[in-house]
Amino acid sequence: MMEAVDILFSASLWGAVLRIATPLIFGTLGALICERSGVLNLGIEGIMTLGAMVAWMTVFQGGGLWTGLLVAALCGGMFGLLHAVLTVPLGLSQHVTGLGITLFASSLTYYIYRLALPVSSSPPTIEPFQPLAIPGLSDIPFFGEALFSQTAPTYLAILAIVVTAYILIRTPLGLAIRMTGENPHAVEAQGLNPTRIRIGAVVVGSALMAIGGSFLTTATFNSFFPTMVQGRGWVCIALVVFASWRPGKALLGALLFALFDAYQLRLQHVVEGGVPYQLFLMVPYVLSIVALIVMSRRARVPQALMAPYRKGER
């Protein structure tokens, strides 16, 4: 029993939390930006899978790790553009289109992967991002190992939260995005183009989702397999609600989920005999649902979320 508590005080747990949280942070931020402009993007699961494969493939073919992330972002942005064109100017159902994008992107990913690597007994690996110890800070006991010995994309994720929060809250562009998600007619009446704003937000948001996926292959697993995203995209969609559409709370949510996940992994080794490990795997999801119930009852939903905007119509 004491061992179960001791886990919480190990630096390796907290280091793992940040690592596990990184793809969730990128994915949640991406979904949050889309939804703040009024577009639900259920293509996230597929876009993350695509990002994971594309980044891995780029590196596997001899590209650099950062080039891999960039290519992933570009591909994610392209699928975002597809989703945006279908749902914004054409006004199609965002649910159905998003699920379609997920199926399309996942299948295409697997197809390209198989096309490039017809035979493989065990998936080939690449040389991943190495932990980047921040000089000085990484020497602090406990915190140094937990917080300041992460890979570069993890630091980038934290930076992305700060930048997104700043843009959304402090800049005219952010106001335009938020207003478009609340009432696109108000945006149009003030001389801006809500259609363009939505398309832009979905493209950028989708690029972030793909970067989140790419973290799995370039920093965690070192190889690609088709089912590796494992519902992380759906978790991100839930985290956006948990976060009440606010970037700061999104970080909190991602960390919380990652904590549950990292904890159950270690708990599996501590608890002895008779308890099936699937039970532990369930823990983060069950706790997430509980957290969602507690946190999001008073969430402030963007008023025009999922409402297509057509000029000259009310």
Partner 1 sequence: MSRDTVLELTEITKRFGDLLANDAISLSLKQGELLALLGENGAGKTTLMNILFGHYTADSGTVKVFGSELPPGRPRMAIEAGVGMVHQHFTLAGNLSVLDNIMIGTEGLGQWRSGRRAARNKLMVLADRFGLGVDPEALVSELSVGEKQRVEILKALFRDARILILDEPTAVLTQIEAARLFETLNAMTEDGLSVIFISHKLAEVMTASNRVVILRAGAVVAERNTADTDRAELAELMVGRRVTRPVREDQQPGDNVLDLANVDVVENGRKQLDDVSLTVRAGEILGIIGVSGNGQSSLGRLTSGLVGASSGQMTYDGTTTDRFTPRQLVANATGRIPEDRNTEGAVGEMSLWENAVLERIGDKRFSRHGIVDRNGCRAFTADLIERFDVRGAGPQTPTRQLSGGNMQKMILGRNLASVPKLVIANQPTRGLDEGAIAAVHGELLAARKAGAAIVLISEDLDEVVALADRIQAIFKGRLSAPIAADDADPQRIGLMMAGIWEGDHAA
Which parts of this chain interact with partner 1 (CB under 8 A)?
170-173, 175-176, 178-179, 182-183, 185-192, 300, 302-303, 311-312, 314
Minimum Å gap between C-beta 311 and partner 1 is 7
Nearer to partner 1, 103 or 173 (CB): 173
Nearer to partner 1, 19 or 198 (CB): 198
Minimum Å gap between C-beta 264 and partner 1 is 37
Nearer to partner 1, 25 or 197 (CB): 197
Minimum Å gap between C-beta 33 and partner 1 is 15
Distances in whole angstroms, Cα of residue 253 to Cα of each of 80, 104, 177, 211: 24, 28, 22, 19
Minimum Å gap between C-beta 95 and partner 1 is 18
Quote the tokens at residue 248. Answer: 């700061």
Q: Pick from 59, 27, 98: which is nearest to 306 by CA?
A: 98
Nearer to partner 1, 185 or 223 (CB): 185
Nearer to partner 1, 152 or 178 (CB): 178
Nearer to partner 1, 152 or 192 (CB): 192
Decide: 107 and 100 in contact? Cβ < 8 Å: no
Question: Residue 10 in 3-state DSSP?
Answer: coil
Residues 6+ apart with CB under 8 A from 41: 30, 31, 34, 35, 47, 80, 83, 94, 98, 101, 202, 205, 206, 209
Nearer to partner 1, 23 or 184 (CB): 184
Minimum Å gap between C-beta 175 and partner 1 is 6
Minimum Å gap between C-beta 190 and partner 1 is 3
Minimum Å gap between C-beta 296 and partner 1 is 15
Burial class of residue 196 (count of CB atoms within 10 Å of its CB; 0-12, 13-18, 19+): middle
User: Within the chain, where are the H helices?
Assistant: 2-6, 11-36, 44-60, 65-87, 94-116, 143-147, 152-170, 172-182, 184-189, 194-215, 232-242, 247-270, 277-295
Give the separation between CA 45 and CA 106, rounded to whole angstroms.
8
Minimum Å gap between C-beta 29 and partner 1 is 19
Give the separation between CA 16 and CA 146, rounded to whole angstroms.
8
DSSP letter (8 states) at residue 218: I
Decide: 35 and 204 in contact? Cβ < 8 Å: no
Give the separation between CA 152 and CA 71, rounded to whole angstroms.
17
Nearer to partner 1, 145 or 182 (CB): 182
